[in-house]
């Protein structure tokens, strides 16, 4: 079975540009999570969805960040406009029936110049 | 709020050596405890978990025991291999925090042949 799929794997962009990260969760999973990983702050939960509905977005850093899940097999995390401090690895994860056993994608490494 | 503290790395050891990674936590109530592992270039994956005091989680030769009296969940492996080189994350989930996972900062382990 395919795991969580994220694209792109690497993204380099300039400050001010819009960035869109994509995620396909494991088929049948009903929870989807977006995390950000940095050396300074470690692994932070940004937002999670249950059955395509955003449940908790308290970790979203500011209005420049937005996430959507239009259907059960696709989610996006958008940063507009991007800033150098957004440089990080962004992980998508999915789970079935609860929040505890999560399956992570390989991540998108974002560099904002 | 909930928090997880784990020993800083990197931890460097030789093949077949004994590995211990310390993890302590602060949480309201009785959380579930987890170890996740991140291999180079990959997302995190669940290694083992324990849901109540004195439970022992085990997988792939790794073990960790839920110690409520010391609020600890130390990870151990008796004989490591080069393939165990990775970053290990201790995590907890508690009902008070909506069952979201709270991760420690991660411990990088490097096993040399």
Q: Which residue has the higher pLDDT, B43 or A54?
A: A54
Those residues of chain B whose CB sits closer than 8 Å to some CB in chain A are 32, 34, 41-46, 49, 89, 93, 98-101, 103-106
| List of chain B residues whose C-beta atoms are within 8 Å of the C-beta of residue A106 | 41-43
| List of chain B residues whose C-beta atoms are within 8 Å of the C-beta of residue A2 | none
pLDDT interval class at B1 (50, 70, 90): confident
**Residues 6+ positions from A58 with CB-CB distance below 8 Å:** none
Residue B33 has pLDDT above 90, yes or no: yes
- According to DSSP, residue B84 is labeled G
**What does the pLDDT read at residue A81?**
96
CA separation (Å) from B38 to A12, A103, B100?
Answer: 23, 11, 19
Count of residues in chain A = 113
A25 reaches B (C-beta below 8 A): no
CA dihedral A54, A58, A62, A68 (to 10 degrees): -10
* B54-111 pLDDT per residue, tens: 999 999 999 999 999 999 999 999 999 999 999 999 999 988 888 889 999 999 999 9
**What does the pLDDT read at residue A87?**
97
**What does the pLDDT read at residue A2?**
80
Most B CBs within 10 Å, among A54, A100, A106, to test the B interface: A100
**What does the pLDDT read at residue A40?**
87
Most A CBs within 10 Å, among B100, B102, B103, B108, to test the A interface: B100
**What does the pLDDT read at residue A1?**
62
Residues 43-62 of A with CB under 8 A from B: 43, 45, 48, 56
**What does the pLDDT read at residue B95?**
84
| List of chain B residues whose C-beta atoms are within 8 Å of the C-beta of residue A100 | 32, 34, 49, 93, 99, 101
- Contact of A67 with A55, CB cutoff 8 Å: no
| List of chain B residues whose C-beta atoms are within 8 Å of the C-beta of residue A93 | 43-44
* B15-27 pLDDT per residue, tens: 999 999 999 999 9
Q: How far is B74 from chain A (nearest CA, A)?
A: 19
Q: Give me the tens of pLDDT residue by residue for chain A, a chain 113 residues long.
A: 689 999 999 999 999 999 999 999 999 999 999 999 998 888 999 999 999 999 999 999 889 999 999 999 999 999 999 999 999 999 999 999 888 889 999 999 999 99
């Amino acid at each position: 079975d395919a795991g969580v799929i994220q694209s792109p794997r690497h993204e380099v962009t300039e400050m001010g540009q819009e960035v869109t990260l994509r995620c396909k969760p494991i088929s049948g999973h009903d929870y989807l999570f977006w995390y950000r990983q940095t050396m300074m702050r470690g692994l932070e939960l940004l937002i999670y969805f249950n059955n395509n509905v955003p449940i908790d977005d308290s970790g979203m850093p500011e209005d420049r960040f937005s996430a959507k899940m239009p259907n059960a097999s696709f989610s996006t995390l958008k940063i507009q406009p991007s800033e150098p401090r957004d440089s990080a690895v962004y992980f998508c994860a999915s789970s079935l029936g609860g929040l505890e056993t999560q399956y992570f994608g390989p991540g998108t490494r974002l560099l904002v110049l | 709020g909930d928090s997880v503290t784990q020993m800083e790395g990197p931890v460097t050891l030789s093949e077949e050596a004994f590995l211990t990674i310390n993890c302590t936590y602060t949480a309201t109530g009785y959380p579930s405890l987890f170890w996740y592992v991140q291999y180079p270039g990959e997302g995190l994956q669940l290694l083992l978990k324990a849901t109540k005091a004195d439970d022992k989680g085990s997988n792939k030769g790794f073990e960790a025991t839920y110690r409520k009296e010391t609020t600890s969940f130390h990870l151990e492996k008796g004989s490591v291999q080069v393939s165990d080189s990775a970053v290990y994350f201790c995590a907890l989930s508690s009902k008070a925090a909506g069952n979201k996972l709270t991760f420690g900062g991660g411990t990088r382990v490097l096993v040399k042949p």
